[in-house]
Amino acid sequence: MNKKYQYLLFDADDTLFDFKASEKEALDGFFQSLNIELTDSIRDHYHRINHSLWAAFERNEITKDDVLNTRFRQLFREEGIVVDQPDLEKNYQDRLASSHITIPHVFDLLDALKNDYDLYIVSNGVATTQYSRLKASGLYSYFKGIFVSEETGYQKPQVEFFDYAFERIPSFDRSKALIIGDSLGSDMQGGINARIDTCWYNPKHLENTRSLPITYVVDSYDALKAILL
């Protein structure tokens, strides 16, 4: 076992959850409820808008509410689609909260780690949605604490997000902490800002376009276990 670490800080989406699969399921149901055909073009357009807004959120340029209240209205406006439903985001969030598809073998990973490490969740996102998905999936019980940006008042990669979490982890020692996540912008940059070691979960072998000094890069759970066990 890698005795260097005690605290493992896991991102949730695309690190433990197969967020893309859950998102697809939620989007399909959302558009069906509106009686709108979800074409590949509209789906791609939504992803571009959503990605751009969340990136702006990570840069602290807009709030989470700005993301949630903008993305579908902007999409429908730019697509020339008229929708007469006042609470589009709640419709979508309810569907996303009920979808909790995990990455294969995630329970094997957590079972292997739970007795030797203190496991925590560090997530940007909507708190009620994340808690619902963690509980429904069975992941919730593995973690000693869950920190979601909506509750902390800050978001990854802001150092204040991590300061909030660290203050609430008993006897925390940042030299014994490792953040594990898929995002360069929020997880890896956040870990660097917080002065803890970083592990980039990168199953698609993406390029480190930010040239960040990442401690470890893994492309599978087995590779992560090889570092920690």
Catalytic (active-site) positions: 11
Kindly report the three-state secondary structure assignment for every residue of 168-200.
Answer: CCCCCCHHHEEEEECCHHHHHHHHHHCCCEEEE
The position carrying tokens 């870990």 is 191
